[in-house]
Chain A
Amino acid sequence: EAGVVQSPRYKIIEKKQPVAFWCNPISGHNTLYWYLQNLGQGPELLIRYENEEAVDDSQLPKDRFSAERLKGVDSTLKIQPAELGDSAVYLCASSLRPGQGAHNEQFFGPGTRLTVL
Chain B
Amino acid sequence: DAKTTQPPSMDCAEGRAANLPCNHSTISGNEYVYWYRQIHSQGPQYIIHGLKNNETNEMASLIITEDRKSSTLILPHATLRDTAVYYCIVGENFGNEKLTFGTGTRLTIIP
A→B interface (CB under 8 Å): 4, 31, 33, 40-45, 48, 50, 55-56, 91, 93, 95-98, 100-101, 103-111
Contacts and interface: CB of A to CB of B under 8 A. Distances in A.
A104 B96 contact: yes
Contacts of A48: 98
Contacts of B45: 108
A95 B44 contact: no
Interface of B: 32, 41-46, 49, 87, 93-96, 98-104
Which one of A31, A104, A108, A109 has the greatest number of beta carbons of chain B within 10 Å?
A108
A97 to B, nearest CB: 7
Given A31-B95, A93-B43, A110-B42, 11 more contacts: A43-B44, A45-B98, A45-B99, A48-B98, A56-B98, A95-B94, A97-B96, A105-B94, A105-B95, A106-B95, A108-B43
Which one of B32, B95, B99 has the greatest number of beta carbons of chain A within 10 Å?
B95
A98 B93 CA distance: 9
B4 to A, nearest CB: 10
Given A106-B46, A108-B44, A42 B95 contact: no
Nearest to A105: B46
23 contacts: A41-B103, A42-B102, A43-B44, A43-B101, A44-B101, A45-B99, A55-B96, A91-B44, A95-B95, A96-B95, A98-B93, A100-B95, A101-B95, A103-B32, A103-B95, A104-B96, A106-B95, A106-B99, A107-B46, A108-B42, A108-B45, A110-B41, A110-B43
Contacts, number: 66
Top-5 shortest CB links A-B? A104-B95, A42-B101, A108-B43, A45-B98, A98-B96
A77 to B, nearest CB: 15
B87 A42 contact: yes
A93 B97 CA distance: 12
A109 B32 CA distance: 24
